[in-house]
Structure 1
Amino acid sequence: MLDSRHIRTFHEVVSTGSYTAAARSLGYTQPAVTQQIRALEREVGVPLFARDGRRMRLTEAGESLARHAEVILGNLGAAKQQLQALARLRAGRVRVCAFPSANATLIPEAMAGLMADHPEIRVELQEAEPPESVNRLLAGECDIALSFSYPGMLRTELPEEVVEVRLMEDLLTVLLPVGHPLARRHAVRLAELSQARWIAGCPRCRATFLHVCADQGFEPDIVVTTDDNLALQSLVAAGVGLAVAPSLVLSFLSHRQVTGRALEPHVRRQVSAYVLRDHLALPATALVLEGLKAAGAARIGC
């Protein structure tokens, strides 16, 4: 079995280009680095480095191991993070990573009920758009990740250790200045706005918006892009352009000069929570998930 310390030292030698630089980076002496590389070569049974004059180069075996070393170390790091997460979860501390509109709506609603019944639970909130939120879960940097996907979107294949918990479907709406002629309607057809200027949101939402516009026979004139929901509202209020936003955003509209209307054709995104299968049975994780499911269910039909 390969020693992870030797793999780490080997990776550092490859990254820095010399035993001396690797020793400096790791806080070892150069003889200690040399001894670890020799021990690793004994473990694998072949030389990993060869001298080329004064320079040192990887052998074919060294090249092969170098391709795997970063993955091995990454997996070890993730495993360590996940084991540490178990200890935090058993102590009632849960790290939740969600996209901005969920952090502003579903999370507060879930936490309000949770804190009333289970004041011992402690929650650390993080913010990231998908797929970064799920990547943090896989890296052991959070315990529950909230993400969303649109119909037809190619979904990343997740490992079997990850479980999806569906929370709600979120209907897309169009944000208009209150004085806009179409603001008096209950719903607005996207095709009627083909000549409008637009503010586009996060990359996933933007890609879906472009696809829906193409289906309606036009290419939108996007004048500004932003991931900031408050900035998006301010831009609409100022008359810079219109915006398509999920209905969750309507819950925290900060401008009286902005209103939201249902968009036709209807487009919904699926909002889900993701958690490691081994953590599902832990009380702290289960309680937070139940709170999130209740918050999502309360919004169905809204």
Structure 2
Amino acid sequence: MLDAHRLALLAEVAHAGSIAGAAQRLSFTPSAVSQQLAKLERDVGAPLVHRNPRGVTLTAVGEALLTHAETIVGELLTAERTVRALLGEEPAQLTVGTFASAGATLVPAALAGFREAHPAVALRLLDLEPPDGYGLVSSRELDLLITHHYPGAVLPDPRGLERSLLRSERFRLILPVGHAKAAVRRLTLRGLAGEDWISGSPGVPNRVCLEQLADAAGVRLRVAHESRDYQVILALVEAGLGIAFVPESVLERAGGARIEVRDAADAHPARDVFLVHHKRPGRLVTEMADRLRA
């Protein structure tokens, strides 16, 4: 039978991305982590990691085992928390993972309200770009994950977790103030094909979405500047360097940004924002989820 402690160590190595990083998190020496990992590999009968100068990556066997390791670690922590709850003890910490724009718009008020209601519970916020984070929820390193899905992207397997829709938000077209196309009554992607666009690099969700929209409209768009950070995109549009699609929630915090906000008649992109947690989330996780929905 595989050792649960060594499986937990595999999960730490995978999440840290290196043996040294896992050793620091576990307060072990790198040598001790390597030895335990080697013993797990002998138990399994196959290599679990590829070692390289920048850290480690999992082999196919390691990836398959990681899913089970995260679940086992999560179940052990669930058992411990269940006992603590029966003894009347409140969890010491609540950890939330979120992507950047949700961290700026949805999260602050929810965290502030939670802290006021539960001053003894330490709050921890992790910045995670989707699709990262599902494994951290499985292993209970995260109590609650806020993640998104763009058109054209693959929605990850929830891996036995509970995933619920928090909101769907449409994207708006933004142009610099005074842009010649801002005065056009009916904007289309075809009419904007000659413009410089600002979006993420190839493979980033907002870029995949933009390329899918362009394909549907039968045009090729030129991405002149690449950033996945919507605050950077806003600043570049303000500076007159291009045009972009941004989620409506980003515009809610744009304040006096010098931009024109329009819609494209032949493109109506939107992204779904999800909450992910264990099927037995616990009272405090449920309360935080309710605060986010509110």
Contact 2:152 2:209 in 1 (8 A): no
Spell out the pairing of 1:1-302 with structure 2 (5 A cutoff): 1-3=1-3, 25-26=31-32, 62-63=45-46, 68=61, 71-72=64-65, 75-76=68-69, 79-80=72-73, 83-84=76-77, 87=81, 90-91=90-91, 93-160=93-160, 162-183=161-182, 188-201=187-200, 203-253=204-254, 256-264=257-265, 265-279=267-281, 282-294=282-294
Distance 1:221 1:293, change over 3 A: same
Do 1:186 and 1:261's aligned partners in 2 also have CA atoms closer than 8 Å? no
Deviates more, 1:132-141 or 1:142-151: 132-141
Give 1:178's aligned amino acid. Answer: V
Assess if the C-alpha contact under 8 Å between 1:106 and 1:292 holds in 2. yes
Is the alpha carbon distance of 1:4 and 1:147 closer, same or farther for their aligned partners in structure 2, counting shifts above 3 Å?
closer
Deviation track 1:214-271 (CA, whole Å, cap 9, x = no partner) reads 1112111111111222221121112211111111110222663223323432222111
Change (3 A) 1:143 1:201: same
Instruction: Give the drift of 1:156.
Output: 2.2
Q: State the Cα RMSD in Å.
A: 3.9
- The 1-side partners of 2:166 and 2:77 are apart by 27
Aligned CA distance change for structure 1 residues 115 and 204 (closer, same or farther; 3 Å): same
- Alignment partners' CA distance in 2, 1:73 and 1:165: 24
* Residue-by-residue CA offset, 1:73-104 (whole Å, 9 max, x unaligned): 77446633664476499426221111111001
Secondary structure of residue in 1 paired with 2:133: helix
Q: Is the 8 A contact 1:233 1:254 kept in 2?
A: no
Shift of residue 210, structure 1, vs aligned partner: 0.5
Instruction: Identify if the C-alpha distance between structure 1 residues 101 and 69 changes in structure 2 by more than 3 Å, giving closer, same or farther.
Output: closer
Kindly state the Cα deviation for residue 140 of structure 1 after the two structures are TM-superposed: 3.2
Classify 1:75/1:257 alpha carbon distance in 2 versus 1 (closer, same or farther; 3 Å): same
**Given the superposition, is the C-alpha separation of residues 126 and 75 from structure 1 closer, same or farther in structure 2, using an over 3 Å criterion?**
same
The structure-2 alpha-carbon separation of the partners of 1:121 and 1:82, relative to structure 1 and needing over 3 Å to count, comes to same
Distance (Å, rounded) in 2 between the aligned partners of 1:124 and 1:8: 21
- Aligned match of 2:14: none
The amino acid of 2:215's aligned partner reads A
Secondary structure at the residue paired with 2:130? coil
CA distance in 1, matches of 2:219, 2:122: 48
CA shift at 1:159, angstroms? Answer: 1.9
Give identity over the alignment, percent: 25
Query: Which residue identity does 2:149 align to in structure 1?
Result: S
Q: 2:119 and 2:47 mapped to 1: Cα distance?
A: 52
State the secondary structure of the residue aligned to 2:168. strand
How far has the Cα of 1:136 moved from its partner? 2.9
Structure 1: unaligned runs, 5 residues or longer: 10-15, 17-22, 41-47, 50-60, 295-302
- The Cα of 1:194 is off from its aligned counterpart by 1.1
Task: Output the TM-score relative to the length of structure 1.
Answer: 0.69
Structure 1: distance between partners of 2:133 and 2:8: 27
Distance 1:113 1:27 in 2: 40
Cα deviation, 1:185-234, whole Å, max 9, x if unaligned, reads: 78743332111001113601110111101111211111111122222112
Provide the rounded CA distance (Å) in 2 between the counterparts of 1:248 and 1:139: 30
Alignment length, in residue pairs? 255
| Local SS of the residue matching 2:136 | helix
Distance of aligned partners of 1:191 and 1:80 in 2 relative to their CA distance in 1, 3 Å threshold: same
Give the SS at the match of 1:232. Answer: helix
Distance 1:238 1:83 in 2: 52
C-alpha offsets along residues 87-123 of structure 1, whole Å, 9 cap, x if unaligned?
4994262211111110010112323444455555542
